[in-house]
Structure 1
Amino acid sequence: MTLGIALALFAAAFAAGALNAVAGGGTLITFPALVAAGLPPIVANATSSVSQWPGYVASSLTFRRELVGQQTLPAMSLASLAGGLIGGWLVTVVSPRLFDVLIPWLILLATVMFAASSQLTRWLGRHAAAVQGSRAGLLAGQLLVAIYGGFFGGGMGIMMLALYSLFALDTLTRMNALKTWLSVLISGVAVLAFIVAGIVDWPAALVMLAGTISGGVAGARLARRLPALWLKRMVVALGSVLTLAFFWKVYG
């Protein structure tokens, strides 16, 4: 790895860490940056997950009190562990060509989910009464989101908040705390699968790890000064450009 590439990866990770601290969407920066640095998409995906996992841990620690008394926590944790492991395992066995074909669609899904998160949450909130109390449905939904999160991860947090709003689980703050903790579990077991499979580029991962941690600290301070809406629009614009770029790369 050249010094120029290392600095570029650090800068991308710094931006991703800051975005995750404020509005989310860091995967839409770290993954393309790693691909641009020359990593195969499967290795870039695994390395991106490793670099962002400590950020989930740090965020979860701030929500310790909000997790107390959440009755669904044990069952949701088990569903998240199972789903994250399945998703991570799928990355290690899927053919590189199939993964390449899926990437534009995954980035598109993450971008659309991020752009429509507020509208989706409001719409689901209005329809919550129809499914409220269905524990099996909630766990099944969490398992599916966890499989997606272990496989790619972009937009995972938005999917979880939308799911919890549909089932009217709790207040937004407590749902966000649950989402953050379950993200730790999903990403953690996926990262373990990637490490065991030997598909992590450690030099790049360590550089980006330093960047995401630094960016997370800076982003927490930035969140007090910049409207989250501005950053959200930036992420959506970036995701749209990346979607077009990856579709052109695969199908052009």
Structure 2
Amino acid sequence: MTIIKNNIIYDQNHQLATDIYFPNDTTTNTKILIFWHGGGWFRGNKESVKEFGISFANAGFMTFIPEYRLAPKHIYPAAHDDALTFVNWLLESHYTDDDDQKNIFQIGASVGGNMAIYLAGKFGFPTVTWSAPVEFSDWFKNHIDTKPSPVAKEEFGLIDRHQIAASFYKYFAQTYAGTANEAVLAKINAKSFDLTNLGPLLMINSADELTPITSVLDFINYLSTKNLPSQLMVIPGHGHAMDYAKEYLDESLDYLFQIAKRHR
């Protein structure tokens, strides 16, 4: 039976909290998993992914699902700063030992995957992303005429799936960036992150979805030129992140378990 502690404050200044899911047999050797929820940086919460917290705990991970500040009230770099604040809190908390940085793993869904890559570059946490968006500035230059909307079908009468997705992509990126300025958007590009300490990374993406596969392929190629470790799993269809999460949960956890075995 999973034990859950809700609303443990990790940032007093912004009153941000995390939920913690404990496996039955928690010991000092228990691996730690941070799960970053998605929602385009403007919606989503830790409560909505409770079933995943339970699944991760049942798989043997002490699981943390933090909340972070959302746009449009809080624009870039608020969510990324919150993610960094959380990790620093975790490493200094009584939930970890002095050498536990090597025992921390991540899964990030959608924009949560973007944040997970940001942290992986700093701390080396083995990481799995589900449909992480990794590029914005060039995408905006190529979609000048696209109108941003979270509900383009209703607002603009669009019926083409790709046009609706593009409208949403522009909306959430511009909402979090607080602008369509290329220089600001470029800061959220995964290539712009400090990836010096990037650890093992598995990116899972659908072949034709919200996150442009061309940008993901370009990012994987970029990592290879830097001799940084990464794998890409392209799955059929057009589902985004949580659309296929349950189906590929075992593959994600198996990847992390294999990394954990190598780190023993």
Same structural fold, with TM-score higher than 0.5 when normalized by the shorter chain: no
Richer in helix (by share): 1
Q: TM-score range by the shorter chain?
A: under 0.3
Higher relative contact order (CA closer than 8 Å, sequence separation 6+): 1
Give the strand-richer structure, 1 or 2.
Answer: 2
TM-score, normalised with respect to structure 1: 0.27
TM-score by length of 2: 0.26
